[in-house]
Amino acid sequence: MRIDRLALGTATLLMLGGAPRAMPQERGDAQAAPSRQDEMTRSLLARLDLEKYKATIKGLTQFGDRRQGTERNRKAVDWIEAQLKSYGCPTERVRYVYDAPPRPPRPEDRKPFEPVIASGQVVPGPGGSRYRGIQRRTGVNTDPSAQPDAKLRELNAEPATNGPREEVYCTKVGTTHPEEMYIVGAHMDGHGWGEAANDDGSGTALVMELARIFSMPDVQTERTIRFALWNNEETGLNGARAYVEQRAGLQGKEDPPGSKRYPEPKWLAMVQHDMMLWDHGMPRADGTWNPEQRPEADINVEFQSTALRADEAMKLAFFFRTANEKFATDYPAAVGSHMTNTDSAPFMDFVPAISLRENERGMHTGAGWNPTWHQPIDVYATFSDKDFRLGLNATQTTGGAIGLLAGVTLVK
């Protein structure tokens, strides 16, 4: 046993000092003695705070549902950028045009209501998933009168118009490998006549909180990390697609030559965060949900088994699971193979891509396990501290994994 642990420790040290690594090579053993890199990462993560995470979500909710193509969405982009700058994380924007197609998207979520799936019955869900057990109806609320709060109804009144769009990212440049980067993302737009507190204020705040701690003056990383807040996710991942279309071809190019500046470092992996609050489990047979957080709640890390980079994405997902075991204070992580309907999809054939959520998007969210999804009750006041803590545990999980992968050091 002792020899195994020593061997693992040596492997870890070699990995940290060795050649560039697109993918984790560390053995997935949270039982091993903590390495120096583990300790550095743990010290960094100690700067996360439940109240700060909540305050960032609350800050995002001042712009209502932040629907793309509206003034409230543009104001939210400005606000996010101002926060990122205040953390010391230099920002840039991606510009693109979005014109809504004639037909409304998302037909997959408009399944007929079937409360219980019979034994042996196969009900396919999105991304290759399979629905099981008790289902509830899902969909996007488009009825303003379903929002009882008159002020929020007014805030969300402006409809989307076609035209130019912007989204913001900020970048922590690596000290020894500025030419390679990890992308950590979430979508900042929402809809449904609520405050998009969960979908996806919770993921946006997670990314912003990581940008905050990784940008502190005493924090260095060997490799670059980019924190991206995608727009137009809810219309079909258009903001993330625009990023891939505009920037995939720029990867790894030094500009100007000899400057050691890389406007688009080579992508090593992409990690998306989409709805981090809730996991109260399957709906009950009477059509209600457990109002309290389940102690057995978990974070769902998903890769897509049909992606060109699926094998590496699977390894990355399990690396995140190990990071969860090392660094998350309360809730575990589970790995699934049906990542779908989120901004990591446009990246998944280029680089290992995964998503983190409070549920599996197909089997759970698709079957109606989260009653806040795209509904007027997706407001800050709906969620308890235990719900927010599930999101904080996801922040610890990603922060831990990225800290190890990018090689974080706290300098005196």
Contact by Cβ (8 Å): 339, 403: no
**DSSP code at position 293:** P
The least distance separating Zn ion from the CB of residue 286, rounded to whole angstroms, comes to 28
The least distance separating Zn ion from the CB of residue 254, rounded to whole angstroms, comes to 35
Q: Please, where are the H alpha helices in 62-188?
A: 71-86, 150-155
**Which residues have C-beta within 8 Å of that of residue 55, sequence separation ≥ 6?**
none
The least distance separating Zn ion from the CB of residue 374, rounded to whole angstroms, comes to 8
The least distance separating Zn ion from the CB of residue 66, rounded to whole angstroms, comes to 11
The least distance separating Zn ion from the CB of residue 86, rounded to whole angstroms, comes to 25
The least distance separating Zn ion from the CB of residue 275, rounded to whole angstroms, comes to 5
Residues facing 186 on adjacent strands? 229, 273
Of 63 and 214, CB closest to Zn ion: 63
Of 22 and 196, CB closest to Zn ion: 196
Query: Which residues contact Zn ion (rule: CB under 5 A)?
Result: 199-200, 274
Place of tokens 């409304």: 104
Cβ burial of 306 (10 Å; 0-12, 13-18, 19+) is middle
**Amino acid symbol at 46:** A
DSSP string, 216-278: STTEEESEEEEEEEES--TTTSHHHHHHHHHHGGGTT--SSTTS---SSPEEEEEEEE---S-
Of 274 and 279, CB closest to Zn ion: 274
Contact by Cβ (8 Å): 339, 345: yes
Of 268 and 377, CB closest to Zn ion: 377
Of 200 and 312, CB closest to Zn ion: 200
Structure-token pair, residue 339? 């990542």
Of 135 and 235, CB closest to Zn ion: 235
